[in-house]
Structure 1
Amino acid sequence: MDSDGVSSFLRNRKLESFFSAGPAQDSVEPSTKITVSKNESESKMGAESSYVDDDGWIPVLISWVRIVMCFVSMMFTTFIWAVIMVVLIPWPCQRIKQGNIYGHVTGRMLMWILGNPIKIEGTEYANERAIYISNHASPIDIFLMMWLTPTGTVGIAKKEIIWYPLFGQLYVLASHLRIDRSNPTAAVESMKEAARTVVKNNLSLIIFPEGTRSKNGRLLPFKKGFVHLALQTRRPIVPMVLTGTHLAWRKGSLHVRPAPLTVKYLPPIRTDDWTADRIDDYVRMVHDVYVKHLPESQRPLGLGNSGNSSNS
């Protein structure tokens, strides 16, 4: 992710660039309604068509208050878990677990503060040992991934994330993976080492295959890193399809809107029989899965309703 999404939130324009290659059925909080469903959504366009934008001064003020609350709350939980991580330095597996608990608590808390209605589907696929992938169009995507990926999941970030105050140190302490992208050879070796770590410790991975944040919510071409990781780990791929987040928090904006969101886990895509000579085919195939399940407003331009992708 090379965009400025969380940078608007943390007042730094580089955090999302580090990530490129973390529920209950009914919420008890009155401001956020969460519905967990295992069935097909009634209409991909229904949520968007029922949402009415409001840029009046009162909604903008409320949005600013929510963002400040998110910032303060995230700094608080990050500090608390950083202390826990330091105590657990001799036990890396426990640090991974605590890193996920931090993500579950912090991500859920931030989504509650923002107050968007959330519908979650396909939760029967939410506890696989797998490579979880997601489309990326908003900083809210990161909060959702923190909350909804299972315990035992690690992310992959650029090695420079360690220099991001407090959050970067917590990321490293939580035993998440870092890669050196300074040159192609170093990047390949870093990916191989990440794959070995995942297999050795029986971990899952989370990755945004677009490699950057979409500016308008439309799906971008997928990069090949997630396929290379699948080939090296033989983990299945679990697509997580996010809709509505690009409306809730638009790029370059500090106005978070109450647009309804949907998170849909799709059935795992097995990679046991994948071969290195068909990498482009696998990238195209997984991209087409997203095109099929995204609403028209989030599909790449020029595809119409066919659901066919021309990525390479």
Structure 2
Amino acid sequence: MEISGIGSFLRNRRFGNYLEASFGVNFASPSKVAVKEEVEKKIQSVAFVEDDGIGAVLISWVRIVVCFVTMMFTTFIWALIMLVLFPWPYQRIRQGNIYGHLTGRLLMWILGNPIKIEGSECADEKVIYICNHASPIDIFLIMWLTPTGTVGVAKKEIIWYPLFGQLYFLANHLRIDRSNPSAAIQSMKEAAHTILKNNLSLIIFPEGTRSKSGRLLPFKKGFVHVALQTRRPIVPVVFTGTHRAWRKGSLHVRPAPLNVKYLPPIRTDDWTADKIEDYVKMVHDVYVKNLPESQRPMH
């Protein structure tokens, strides 16, 4: 059976089960419009009140510990699979995606945040996905939701991150050298070559680091260089609420509602190398328009 089909089935099935369990939505209903309206009403009715009491903090710690143990277990299992598949780099990428679908979904279920996902139909072709980054939860969501056949790109130092970094390497995802601009551009060119050679999608955080406040940071140019090399469309994925759910430097995960919104693809067929700054600003402005005031850059 086709592995990508399995990954897609698992991802879609898990999401349906998650919404049924979290909000009591019956996905057996024949009316998709009615289901969507019911989901939106249920999610909008969830009231989020910050609770920093000892009980809430203890529950949060338990959730984080369970997440860590779960990730240790799934990482060990998939590390063995990756080692067996070591001579086949593309199969390791696909297995890494399936690992992400399962592990990301489990971690989000353990954390228990209500989630609303919009526009996922924009994720049907080979594209460059870009996402704003303000919380560890962003990683879990990306692991869960990106389609099979998607490769990630991160700084080369990620290999030293316990568990995740080693599996990231085994899954044959891409690493870039950010020591200087020339090295970074060369790394992105190599990434573009890999994407085209293996017919992959790419996922990247254009801010280059996690925002401490949740407000959008300036974008780096790497995603534009890849677009110029591959002519892949860019699909912005907008995360809202994740910075409230798990703040940087905190071990308290709050039950804040989360929203994941796929925006329509931005075509790059006619982009030219002399307008890189313009393209970076244009895509950044798209995010500013689609983020709530609390996550827009300070002026």
What's the TM-score once normalised by structure 1's chain length?
Answer: 0.83
Q: Give the structure 1 partner of residue 290 of structure 2.
A: 293
**What amino acid does structure 1 have at the position aligned with 2:191?**
A
* Higher helix fraction (1 or 2): 2
Q: 1:42 to 1:166 in 2, by over 3 A?
A: closer
Q: Give the structure 1 partner of residue 158 of structure 2.
A: 161
- Given candidates 209, 226, 234, the residue that maps to 1:229 is 226
Q: Give the structure 1 partner of residue 280 of structure 2.
A: 283
Q: Give the structure 2 partner of residue 245 of structure 1.
A: 242
Tell me, in whole angstroms, the C-alpha distance in 2 between the residues paired with 1:202 and 1:87.
23
- Given candidates 23, 26, 33, the residue that maps to 2:16 is 26
**Do 1:48 and 1:244's aligned partners in 2 also have CA atoms closer than 8 Å?**
no
**Do 2:218 and 2:284's aligned partners in 1 also have CA atoms closer than 8 Å?**
yes
**What amino acid does structure 2 have at the position aligned with 1:182?**
S
Structure 2 unaligned blocks of 5 or more: 1-11, 26-31
Q: Give the structure 1 partner of residue 90 of structure 2.
A: 93
**Do 2:159 and 2:165's aligned partners in 1 also have CA atoms closer than 8 Å?**
yes
Q: 1:286 to 1:70 in 2, by over 3 A?
A: same
**Do 1:38 and 1:122's aligned partners in 2 also have CA atoms closer than 8 Å?**
no
5 Å-filtered alignment, 1:244-283, equals 244-283=241-280
Report the CA distance between 1:198 and its aligned residue. Answer: 0.5
Q: Give the structure 2 partner of residue 147 of structure 1.
A: 144
Report the CA distance between 1:172 and its aligned residue. Answer: 1.4
Report the CA distance between 1:160 and its aligned residue. Answer: 2.8
Deviations 1:46-70 (A, max 9, x none): 9699421111111111100000000
1:83 matches 2:73: no
Deviations 1:245-269 (A, max 9, x none): 0110011110000000000001100
5 Å-filtered alignment, 1:204-219, equals 204-219=201-216
**What amino acid does structure 2 have at the position aligned with 1:229?**
V
Q: Give the structure 2 partner of residue 10 of structure 1.
A: none
1:109 matches 2:130: no
Identity rate of aligned residues, in percent? 77
1:65 is paired with a residue whose SS is helix
1:26 is paired with a residue whose SS is helix
Structure 1 unaligned blocks of 5 or more: 1-22, 303-312
What's the TM-score once normalised by structure 2's chain length?
Answer: 0.86
Aligned length: 277
- Given candidates 178, 183, 186, the residue that maps to 2:183 is 186
Q: 1:197 to 1:33 in 2, by over 3 A?
A: farther
Report the CA distance between 1:34 and its aligned residue. Answer: 9.6
1:119 is paired with a residue whose SS is strand
